[in-house]
Chain A
Amino acid sequence: MDVDMEIQKTKEERQKMEDLAALTSLTFDTDLYSSNKFDGYDQSIPVNDDDDAFDATENEIAKKMASFTAPKQFFKEPLRTGDDDEMSGFKQPGKIIDREDDYRRRRLNRIISPERNDPFLDKTPGPEVRTYADVMREEALKRKEEDVKREIAKKKEEEAAVKEKAKEREAEKPKKRNRWDVSQDENRGDKKAKAGSDWDLPDSTPGIARWDATPTPGRIGDATPSISRKNRWDETPTPGRLNDSDATPAAGGATPGATPAGMTWDATPKLAGLATPTPKRQRSRWDETPATVGSATPMGGATPAAAFTPGVTPVGAIDIATPTPNAIMRNAAMTPEQYNLMRWEKDIEERNRPLTDEELDAIFPKEGYKILEPPASYVPIRTPARKLLATPTPMSTPLYSIPEENRGQQFDVPKELPGGLPMMKPEDYQYFGALLNEEDEEVLSPEEQKERKIMKLLLKVKNGTPPQRKTALRQLTDKAREFGAGPLFNRILPLLMQPTLEDQERHLLVKVIDRVLYKLDELVRPYVHKILVVIEPLLIDEDYYARVEGREIISNLSKAAGLATMIAAMRPDIDNIDEYVRNTTARAFSVVASALGIPALLPFLKAVCQSKKSWQARHTGIKIVQQIAILIGCAVLPHLRSLVEIIEHGLNDENQKVRTITALSLAALAEASAPYGIESFDSVLKPLWKGIRSHRGKVLAAFLKAIGFIIPLMDAIYASYYTKEVMIILIREFQSPDEEMKKIVLKVVKQCVSTEGVEADYIRNDILPEFFRNFWVRRMALDRRNYRQLVETTVEIANKVGVADIVGRIVEDLKDESEPYRRMVMETIEKVVANLGASDIDARLEELLIDGILYAFQEQTSDDANVMLNGFGAVVNSLGQRVKPYLPQICGTIKWRLNNKSAKVRQQAADLISRIAVVMKQCGEEQLMGHLGVVLYEYLGEEYPEVLGSILGALKAIVNVIGMTKMTPPIKDLLPRLTPILKNRHEKVQENCIDLVGRIADRGAEFVPAREWMRICFELLEMLKAHKKGIRRATVNTFGYIAKAIGPQDVLATLLNNLKVQERQNRVCTTVAIAIVAETCSPFTVLPALMNEYRVPELNVQNGVLKSLSFLFEYIGEMGKDYIYAVTPLLEDALMDRDLVHRQTAASAVKHMALGVAGLGCEDALVHLLNYVWPNIFETSPHVINAVMEAVEGMRVALGASVILNYCLQGLFHPARKVREVYWKIYNSLYIGAQDALVSAYPILEDEGNNSFSRPELHMFV
């Protein structure tokens, strides 16, 4: 039988292939491999580089996998970097919770409080209503509870300590000291304070408690993969991994065969195995299936016992695998994440289920095929887990039957909601689920109907399309009072606490609140605290716009509810035990203050800041003042004295935290009011200066900060006195190991030093030695913020004491062994020298400086910010002619580095040349520069585009400085070398190259033959495609220079030909170039050819000509008066053309023309043209009408307003509204542009009845 023979043959062939692939033996097929082993090799090296442009990885793979193919993108796929998706344009909408830190997530711990009594209503509150007193009592209770707990904890700790001690005494041995001892012996005070502070935090519940606290019902705590618990399974939620996540522990446990290794090979037939040498990271789909089945089954509600019995095919499991949304609804325990996973995994399973014998039978024809025995080596699957993989047999006959359409079937997409509501996300079900029950609206009570209505509108706002959203928002606003505050906020606020909320959704919901607030006005009073709980977290959001939004809401809220209600709502939170709550409340209060005015809030603030009951209240009160200062800036000035008075006693508070925040608030107030208001701070000066002597650590840092901000406000004498006072402490604190303290000290030093009254001598003698000893150390360069602060401070000091002192002290450090430190030194020197020049630097220092800079420049290994380069440039430029002796050495270095292996080094060397070229010229080192020019010229073959760009930049700098005639290599050699480089598509190369070519065309065109310039012209056309505007601009300018050099005819011919190309940007740039050529070579050289080109019956060309004319008249301005009569016939024709673009472009040409020749006596031609423009005023296309209107405006300038008014008069009262509208539009722009000029031209109106319209004044005659 021929089938058998064929099969036999195939088998043999495959055997051979496998042997080959195995590479175990060296058998060659002679028919495939000739004896000549150089067969198939390239006999010669390709001339151009195009051939061997290859992707190394692709080649590698291709070599290894020559025997099979797949689309290329699949080979590349595993090689992609993981973060690739973030580069793909727009950011996916992110959940807010994903970017929040732990502190911000504490917002979820807060509970939306029940509504409170509105004391402004004229009735006594019932017992069920929470009043202010109730809330205060609750808070007090909570505090007491906290106190008791703390007491208990303390007691336990003490007991433990005592026990420990007793044990120790028993042991009587010198043991390793444990932490209890430490707290006992040394840090007792600190420890206590710390314990106290820890108790403020709500985190006393260990572990991840945030899910428990979520006020949303019906969530399984563990099911949601939390961010903090990021393990590798969380990274990509591939369905196959479900069994490893905690969502389905049972299923995961029941699949013992989930070991992925080796599975592929025994599970699949050999052929398929051959075809999938999958890279490790790419998971084979064969691995996934068992897990899927295992986990999906129990969810559907099947009895898992049956499914896990080995050997039994789980018949019927397939029937229940489709989860309908209703099933999900019933199964309230499922989270959206689970739901999504399930949906996805089911989909994958459906697609990838292996074919059964029956199915194969049905697919293949009966004739011509034979069913083979399994090979002897085939081992059937024995593991029970793998058994699960076996396809469930469908219960019906395997033959294909046309499925009956089941209209009622619910697919696994959420079903369409009734009444055109938008899609619901899985996580929305718990809020909007009620909308899915299609009950009859009639049977619902009015209250329920209202609720449903609100829910529908909110869902539309949250998930709907923009038009849906808009109408829903409007309805919500309009009916706000009808709905009532309660039902509205009870629906909106829980949505805002949803953990899966995204930025956009939050923005929309916040907008709803904002709109509703306006309408509800005083009705919001009972809900103020509720709203605040939800909105306050926005005030500390990292997104600026969220903060602004939060501020706006709170400010509107306070305007709607009034100060008394706001205070009553927030007062209990002021001494809340949770620091988070106090912090956000303080910020909210500052917003209230800015909305209702500071004076209104002052009495309350005063009372809070003096609270005897708890330090927390005082702390928050003072913090409110700080936040006010930060929020409203210099607007605190009128209230500065009262604000300072309110908080000043905090400097002597018994609580350390209160003292700290007081000092910080003073700093904020001083910063906000600078440079005014020192008199308001008089009362705090003494406690502050006293305080810095008695305090240590954090408090001292805060005090110093306050002083740092107050000193710049002082008069010179006082500033000097107080600086000296504080400097003792500052110098002492120079040695502080605390990073925060270091930063503050540096900042304060900077502020003190920059103040007027502080003398240079004092700084030099008293501050500098210690300053340099303590701060100019290597360690400071390692932390980014320290580094910056130190540089700033040192530069500020240098401004006072001069260059020589500072540079002299640090110049030696340019040769330090630590590179970051050298960089810091270099940056400081750069800034100092750039600020103050180098005239103070004496010969010795100059020598040291150059030496150090050369060393630092040469020794740098990594420098992304170009600090060394900038420093070198700045120093050389400020030294000017004094660098002459060092130039040979510098150039030697540059030359050596230009030849370096590292591209970065070469690039920097070239960049350095362009920085110092001017100075080299000043020093008269033209020969040296010529030499460098030759060197650079030799490096034009550079292959790294970044480096090549820098080399071209360096050449440009040299050419600019020494001029075209003295340039070596001579221009006639240099330019032909540049022509091919113009082809380079790299932006930096293009930009530098075109600049250089343009420069040569401008100044030294005569050194180059005209033919070369023409060649360059052709290259330049390509550059018009560049993305960067600078390149395109340089290119069109270069066209102008070239045209000037070799005459416009040839260049113009090239450009006119280029008008025929398809690409718009290219054509536009060409028209600009034509206009520039016309401008540089006088219009009469260009216009004839240009106008002749208009005869080409091609749309693009004609439009190009018109556009050129438009640019041309824009550029030549007044010169246009000589050409206006020449081009008028052409414009006439264009303005009558059928094509819209013709008329548009011609109109803009007319505009430029009219503006150019205004007042030069060309009115006849202009009126003529206006007659052609005028009919176009009825155009509707935006660009055309725009151009036409501008042309009319241009005519107004050139012809005078009265002419245009007379054109207008015919249509202002036209019977057709469409006509009137257009004419009034023109009239209005005329009126706005030249109101006064119209007075004399208004028509004489007949009197009418009682109304007299005459204007007799203009008839007066003396």
Chain B
Amino acid sequence: MQASDRFNINSQLEHLQAKYVGTGHADLNRFEWAVNIQRDSYASYIGHYPMLAYFSVAENESVGRERYNFMQKMLLPCGLPPEREDD
């Protein structure tokens, strides 16, 4: 990378992206990415009322219960993180 490139918008792009929760980077592992996917999914279900209604019909639960469940699942959606081998 040239010295002049260090300050242009492209190098900042990654920095800008990193400000958002849920974005990834080259060192992200499968587990972390999966967690992001899960949380995004639940957030999306909660955000779209028709989806929530559909799930509640399918599961025979109230919409509120369903929303609560999804929110609870957003904590540790994939279980505890695996032990890191390299460190």
Which positions in A face B, CB cutoff 8 Å? Answer: 1180, 1182, 1185-1186, 1189, 1212-1213, 1217, 1220-1221, 1224-1225, 1227-1229, 1231-1232, 1235-1236, 1238-1239, 1242, 1245, 1248-1253, 1255, 1257-1258, 1260-1262
Tell me the minimal C-beta distance from A1236 to chain B in angstroms. 5
Interface string of B8-37 (1 = CB under 8 A from A): 111001100100101111101011011001
Which residues of A sit under 8 angstroms from B31, Cβ to Cβ?
1248, 1251
Residue B57 at the A interface, CB < 8 A? yes
Query: Contact at B55–A1260, with CB atoms within 8 Å?
Result: yes
Q: How many chain B residues touch A (Cβ–Cβ < 8 Å)?
A: 36
Contacting residues, chain B, for A1252 (C-beta < 8 A): 78-79
Which of B13, B40, B78 sits near A1235, CB closer than 8 Å? B40
B62 CB within 8 Å of chain A: no
Contact among B17, B24, B26 with A1217 in the assembled complex (CB-CB below 8 Å): B26
Chain B residue with Cβ nearest A1246: B30
A1251 x B23 contact (CB < 8 A): no
Known: A1217-B26, A1231-B22, A1239-B40. A1182 touches B10 (CB 8 A): yes
Residues 31-71 of chain B, each 1 if its beta carbon lies under 8 Å from chain A, else 0: 10110011011001101000000110111000000000000
Q: How far is the CA of A1253 from the CA of B36 in the complex (A)?
A: 11
State the Cβ distance, A1200 to closest chain B Cβ, in Å. Answer: 15
Q: Which residues of B contact A1220 (CB under 8 A)?
A: 26
Smallest CB separation, A908 vs chain B (Å)? 48
A1245 and B34 contact, CB distance less than 8 A: yes
Choose one: A1221, A1232, A1245, A1258; the contact of B20 (CB below 8 Å).
A1232
CA distance A1228 to B28 in the complex (A): 12
Partner of A1251, one of B25, B41, B79: B79
B62 to chain A, nearest CB (A): 16
Closest chain A residue to B38, Cβ basis: A1255
Chain B contact surface mostly? helix
Q: Please indicate the chain B residues that have their CB under 8 angstroms from the CB of A1213 in the complex.
A: 30
Q: Is the CB of B58 within 8 A of A1261?
A: yes
- For residue B87, CB closer than 8 A to chain A, the reply is no
Roughly how many angstroms separate A1255 CA and B44 CA in the complex, as a whole number?
A: 13
A1251 to B81, CA, bound (A): 8
Q: Which of A1239, A1253, A1257 is close to B34, meaning CB atoms less than 8 Å apart?
A: A1253
Sample of 10 more A-B contacts, CB < 8 Å, known A1212-B33, A1251-B81, A1258-B41: A1217-B26, A1224-B26, A1227-B23, A1245-B30, A1251-B34, A1252-B78, A1253-B78, A1255-B41, A1260-B59, A1262-B58
Question: Are A1229 and B17 in touch, CB under 8 angstroms?
Answer: yes
How far apart are B60's CB and chain A's nearest CB, in angstroms? 10
Residues of A within 8 A of B47 (CB): 1236
- Which B residue's beta carbon lies closest to that of A1255? B41
Instruction: Kindly name the residue among A1180, A1189, A1213, A1251 whose own CB sees the greatest number of chain B CB atoms within 10 A.
Output: A1251
How far does the Cβ of A236 sit from chain B's closest Cβ, in whole Å? 40
**How many angstroms from the CA of A1220 to the CA of B29 in the assembled complex?**
12
- A1189 to B81 CA separation, bound complex (whole angstroms): 33
Please, which residues of chain B bring their CB within 8 A of the CB of A1253?
Answer: 34, 37-38, 78
Q: How far is the CA of A1182 from the CA of B12 in the complex (A)?
A: 12
Assess the A1255–B37 pair: CB atoms within 8 A: yes
Q: Which residues of B are at the interface with A, using a C-beta cutoff of 8 A?
A: 1, 5, 8-10, 13-14, 17, 20, 22-26, 28, 30-31, 33-34, 37-38, 40-41, 44-45, 47, 54-55, 57-59, 78-82
Contact present for A1227 and B55 (CB under 8 Å): no
Smallest distance from the beta carbon of B61 to chain A beta carbons, Å? 12
Contacts of A1185 in B (CB 8 A): 10
Distance from B69 Cβ to chain A, minimum over Cβ atoms (Å): 10
Distance of B53 from chain A, by nearest CB (Å): 11
On chain B, the residues within 8 Å of A1236 by CB distance are 40, 44, 47
With most chain A CB atoms within 10 A of its CB, the pick from B23, B45, B55 is B23
B46 to chain A, nearest CB (A): 11
Q: What would 12 A/B residue contacts be, using CB atoms closer than 8 Å?
A: A1228-B14, A1228-B23, A1229-B17, A1231-B23, A1232-B17, A1232-B20, A1235-B22, A1239-B40, A1245-B37, A1250-B80, A1251-B31, A1251-B81
Q: Are B58 and A1260 in contact (CB under 8 A)?
A: yes
Residues on the A chain within 8 Å of B5, using CB: 1180, 1182
Q: Chain B's nearest CB lies how many Å from the CB of A910?
A: 46
The closest CB in chain A to the CB of B24 belongs to A1224
Report B-chain residues with C-beta under 8 Å of the C-beta of A1180.
Answer: 1, 5
A1182 neighbours in B (Cβ, 8 Å): 5, 8-10
Contact B79 A1242 (CB under 8 A): no
Give the nearest-CB partner of A1253 in chain B: B34
Assess whether A1212 is in contact with B55, with CB atoms less than 8 Å apart.
Answer: no
Expressed in whole angstroms, the minimum distance between the Cβ of A1202 and any Cβ of chain B is 13
Which B residues touch A1228, using CB under 8 A?
A: 14, 17, 20, 23-24
List A contacts of B23 (CB < 8 A): 1227-1228, 1231-1232
CA distance A1213 to B26 in the complex (A): 8
Instruction: Tell me which residues across on chain A come within 8 A of B59, comparing CB atoms.
Output: 1260
Q: Which 5 A-B pairs have the closest CB atoms?
A: A1228-B17, A1220-B26, A1260-B58, A1228-B23, A1239-B44
Q: Which of A1213, A1252, A1257: most chain B Cβ within 10 A?
A: A1257
Q: From A1258, which residue of chain B is reached at the shortest CB distance?
A: B41
Q: Write the nearest CB–CB distance from B27 to chain A, whole angstroms.
A: 8
A765 and B26 CA atoms in complex are apart in Å by 80
Query: What residues of chain A lie closer than 8 Å to B26, measured between beta carbons?
Result: 1217, 1220-1221, 1224
- Taking the closest CB of chain A, its distance from the CB of B63, in whole angstroms, is 14
- Nearest-Cβ distance from residue B3 to partner chain A, whole angstroms: 10
Please report the C-alpha to C-alpha distance between residue A1255 and residue B39 in the assembled complex, in whole angstroms: 10
A1231 and B17 CA atoms in complex are apart in Å by: 9
The one of A1231, A1249, A1250, A1260 that contacts B54, using a Cβ cutoff of 8 Å = A1260
The answer for the CA separation of A1164 and B55 in the assembled complex, in Å, is: 35
Determine whether the beta carbon of B80 is less than 8 Å from that of A1225: no
Find chain A residues with CB under 8 A from B54 CB: 1260, 1262
Cross-chain contact B25 with A1224 (CB below 8 angstroms): yes
B40–A1238 CB distance below 8 A: yes
Residues of A within 8 Å of B82, CB to CB, are 1248-1251
Task: Please tell me if the beta carbons of A1242 and B28 are within 8 angstroms of each other in the complex.
Answer: no
Name the A residues within 8 Å of B33 (CB-CB).
Answer: 1212
Contacts of B13 in A (CB 8 A): 1189, 1225, 1229
> B41 touching A1239 by the CB < 8 A rule?
yes
With CB as the reference atom, state the residue of chain B lying closest to A1235: B40
